[in-house]
Amino acid sequence: MSESLRDQLLKAGFKPSPKPASKAKPHLRPQPEPRKPHAAAEPDLAQAFALRVKADRAEREAAEREAREKAEAKRERKRKLQALLAGKALNRADAEQVRNFEFAGKIRRVYVTAEQLKQLNAGELGVVMHGGHALLVTRDVALQTQAIASELVALLVDPNAPAQDDGVPDDLMW
């Protein structure tokens, strides 16, 4: 008549639970899963920061190296120009005529003699800016200066260039 709950469940189709072999075994904790290595595409924050610092340092060192190389090239160029122009300036203290020319967006002047003015306009002489001064030099020295630092040659007339008509009569006196 009255059946136990266990018997009723067994009749209903439930299977009996397996019995533990012995209760004397200590209760074991589940083992943690072994850690998976981080994927190379997903570095953690510390690694990303270290990579950024390393890249910034490499970029800064490259910029410093480039600046040192530019400074060294500039010193070498200055030394070559100093050696080239030493004692070759033809400027004279008794020169009275002014020859104006444009250099670095400004009108500059150099004092020349009448003979030097003819030679300068004919392309036999040139003007080189060095140390803040306009130096009158021979055409050969001006060409050598142009090979070293073309931006320092302020005036060098091409003797083979056709004459330009500026619309001002040659016999006009100011």
Average pLDDT, the chain: 83
pLDDT of 65: 96
Three-class SS of residue 100? strand
Task: Note the pLDDT tens digit of each residue in 10-32.
Answer: 888 888 777 766 655 566 676 77
Q: What is the band of 39 on the pLDDT scale with cuts at 50, 70, 90? A: low
* Separation of alpha carbons 44 and 146, rounded Å: 56
Is the per-residue pLDDT at 109 higher than 80? Answer: yes
120, 125, 147, 166, 168 from 135: Cα distances, Å: 12, 10, 17, 27, 29
Lowest mean pLDDT among 82-86, 110-114, 149-153, 166-170: 166-170
Task: Note the pLDDT tens digit of each residue in 113-163.
Answer: 999 998 988 889 999 998 888 899 999 999 998 898 888 888 888 877 776
Token couple for 89: 């300036």
